[in-house]
């Protein structure tokens, strides 16, 4: 667990650097947000994890690709993770359903 906490701290530090870098690397930021969110889910911080999955989704939207969603692969992964977290971990089925619908 200590190793995971250490890696989490490093990821948070890396994300802060990425958020302040010019030009912004949205693809790398999205991947870091995903790793942070996954870890937060693992330790039971599901609401905070959703915040990071949303940041992942927002970063994906700024990448080239679909006019609405940007990079579809990253965007879909973020939306699916949000839906699963709401449904499986928080038992908020209406919110989960809203995000599952966005996948279609």
pTM, two decimals, is: 0.87
Contact 50, 85 (CB under 8 A): yes
User: For 60-85, how does the pLDDT look when each residue is reduced to its tens digit (9 = 90+)?
Assistant: 999 999 988 999 999 999 999 999 99
CB atoms within 10 A of CB 61: 19
Mapping DSSP to helix (H, G, I), strand (E, B) and coil, where does residue 70 land?
Answer: strand
Using 50, 70 and 90 to split pLDDT, how confident is the model at 96? very high
pLDDT for 10 equals 84
Q: Is the pLDDT of residue 3 over 80?
A: no
Q: Give me the CATH code for the 2-102 domain, please.
A: 1.25.40.10
Contacts by residues 8-16 (CB-CB < 8 Å, ≥ 24 positions apart): 8/36, 8/39, 11/35, 11/36, 11/39, 12/36
Tell me the angle at which helices 72-84 and 26-42 cross, rounded to the nearest 10 degrees. 20
Using 50, 70 and 90 to split pLDDT, how confident is the model at 90? very high
User: For 20-59, how does the pLDDT look when each residue is reduced to its tens digit (9 = 90+)?
Assistant: 888 889 999 999 999 999 999 999 999 999 999 999 999 9
């Amino acid at each position: 667990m200590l190793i995971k906490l250490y890696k989490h701290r490093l990821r948070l530090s890396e994300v802060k650097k990425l958020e302040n870098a010019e030009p912004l690397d949205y693809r790398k930021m999205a991947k870091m947000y995903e790793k942070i969110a996954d870890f937060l889910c693992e330790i039971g911080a599901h609401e905070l994890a959703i915040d990071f999955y949303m940041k992942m989704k927002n970063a994906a939207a700024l990448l080239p690709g679909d006019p609405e969603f940007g990079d579809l692969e990253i965007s879909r992964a973020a939306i699916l993770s949000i839906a699963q977290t709401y449904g499986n971990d928080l038992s908020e089925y209406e919110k989960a359903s809203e995000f599952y619908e966005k996948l279609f």
